[in-house]
C-alpha cells in the first residue's frame, strides 16, 4: 500500500513538473514597443510668416527674386545663431523707392535685401547691448553701416541715409525674430547721396554808363547853331556883293 501511494506521488510530481516547464517555455516574452526616432526640427519659414502678416508683399517678392529665402532656410538648418529681420512694410516702398530698387542689378538687389537681416537672433531687450555698427548678411564695412540704439523702449535703426524704428514685432520663437519697420534701410554703398546742386551762375553785371553831361550837350547844340548862322551870314554877304 505504501508503495502504491509513493508511485502515485511520483507520477503527480512528474506531471506537474512537465506542465510547469511547458508553460514556462510556451509563454511569450513581452517585448517593448518600438521607440519612434526623434523628429527633426524644421527651420522657420520666414516667407510664410510674412505672407500671413499680409503687408509685406513687396519685400517677399524681393526675397524670392534674390533667393534670400533659400539662404535663410539653409542658415537656420545648419546654425543655432538664428536671424533677426527688419521687414519694411508695403507702405515703405513708395513709387520713388520702388523705382530706385528696381534700377539695381541682381547683385545689388541681393545686397539690399541682406542689409535688412542680421545673422543672429536678437530680442527687443538684446538691442540695448549690441555693438555698433551691427553686422548684417550683406557685411559690416564702412559702406554698409547699420547702427541700432534704444530709447524709452524704442528701437531706432539708422543706415546713414535712412532713420526708422521698430514699429511692431511680427514673430519671435527664440531663433527667428521678425520686426516691422516703416522705411526701407538704404545702404550708402548702393544709394550714395547725390552731389549738391551747383550754385546758380551770377548774372553778368553791365558796366554802368555815365550819363552825358547836359552842359556838354547844350554846348554842342549851340555850336551847331553858330555854324549855321555863320554860313548864312557868309552867303548873304556874297549875295549883296554880287
Tens digit of pLDDT for each residue in 119-141? 999 999 999 999 999 999 998 77
**pLDDT (0 to 100) of residue 216:** 47
Does residue 59 lie in a domain region?
Answer: yes
**pLDDT (0 to 100) of residue 130:** 93
- Among 13-17, 62-66, 67-71, 87-91, the least confident range: 13-17
**Alpha carbon 153 to chain centroid, angstroms:** 22
Q: Return the C-alpha torsion angle 106, 159, 58, 181, nearest 10.
A: 160
Does residue 122 lie in a domain region?
Answer: yes
**pLDDT (0 to 100) of residue 234:** 44
Does residue 83 lie in a domain region?
Answer: yes
DSSP for 194-227 reads PPPPPPPPPPPPPPPPPPPPHHHHHHHHHHHHHH
> Quick check: pTM over 0.75?
no
DSSP for 79-137 reads -SS-EEEEEE-GGGS-HHHHHHHHTS-HHHHHHHHHTTEESS---TGGGGGPPSSPPBT
Average pLDDT of the chain is 77
Does residue 139 lie in a domain region?
Answer: yes
Grade residue 153 by pLDDT with cuts at 50, 70 and 90: confident
pLDDT higher than 50, residue 221: no
Tens digit of pLDDT for each residue in 158-192? 998 899 999 999 999 989 999 999 999 988 877 76
**pLDDT (0 to 100) of residue 62:** 96
Does residue 229 lie in a domain region?
Answer: no
Does residue 64 lie in a domain region?
Answer: yes
**pLDDT (0 to 100) of residue 142:** 75
The residue segments making up the domain with residue 144 are: 46-186
**pLDDT (0 to 100) of residue 81:** 93
Instruction: Write the CATH number for 149.
Output: 2.30.180.10
* DSSP label at residue 190: T
Half-sphere exposure (CA, 13 Å, Cβ side) for 120?
8
Q: Rounded to whole angstroms, how far apart are CA atoms 225 and 218? A: 11
Of 148, 17, 23, nearest in space to 84 by CA: 148
**pLDDT (0 to 100) of residue 197:** 60
Does residue 14 lie in a domain region?
Answer: no
Q: How many distinct structural domains can be found in the chain?
A: 1
**pLDDT (0 to 100) of residue 29:** 59
Of 110, 107, 115, 112, nearest in space to 67 by CA: 110
Does residue 56 lie in a domain region?
Answer: yes
Amino acid at each position: 500500500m505504501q508503495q502504491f501511494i509513493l508511485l502515485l506521488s511520483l507520477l503527480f510530481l512528474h506531471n506537474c513538473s512537465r506542465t510547469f516547464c511547458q508553460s514556462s517555455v510556451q509563454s511569450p516574452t513581452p517585448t517593448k514597443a518600438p521607440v519612434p526616432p526623434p523628429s527633426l526640427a524644421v527651420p522657420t519659414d520666414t516667407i510664410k510668416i510674412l505672407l500671413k502678416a499680409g503687408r509685406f508683399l513687396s519685400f517677399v517678392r524681393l526675397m524670392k527674386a534674390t533667393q534670400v529665402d533659400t539662404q535663410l532656410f539653409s542658415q537656420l538648418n545648419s546654425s543655432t545663431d538664428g536671424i533677426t529681420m527688419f521687414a519694411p512694410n508695403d507702405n515703405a516702398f513708395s513709387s520713388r523707392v520702388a523705382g530706385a530698387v528696381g534700377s539695381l542689378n541682381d547683385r545689388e538687389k541681393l545686397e539690399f535685401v541682406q542689409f535688412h537681416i542680421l545673422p543672429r537672433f536678437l530680442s527687443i531687450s538684446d538691442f540695448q547691448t549690441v555693438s555698433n555698427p551691427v553686422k548684417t548678411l550683406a557685411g559690416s564695412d564702412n559702406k554698409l553701416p547699420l547702427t541700432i540704439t534704444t530709447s524709452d523702449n524704442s528701437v531706432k535703426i539708422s543706415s546713414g541715409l535712412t532713420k526708422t524704428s521698430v514699429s511692431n514685432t511680427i514673430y519671435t520663437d527664440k531663433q527667428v525674430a521678425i520686426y516691422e519697420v516703416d522705411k526701407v534701410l538704404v545702404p550708402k554703398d548702393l544709394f550714395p547721396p547725390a552731389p549738391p546742386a551747383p550754385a546758380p551762375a551770377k548774372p553778368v553785371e553791365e558796366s554802368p554808363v555815365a550819363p552825358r553831361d547836359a552842359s556838354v550837350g547844350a554846348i554842342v547844340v549851340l555850336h551847331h547853331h553858330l555854324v549855321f548862322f555863320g554860313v548864312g551870314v557868309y552867303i548873304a554877304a556874297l549875295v549883296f556883293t554880287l
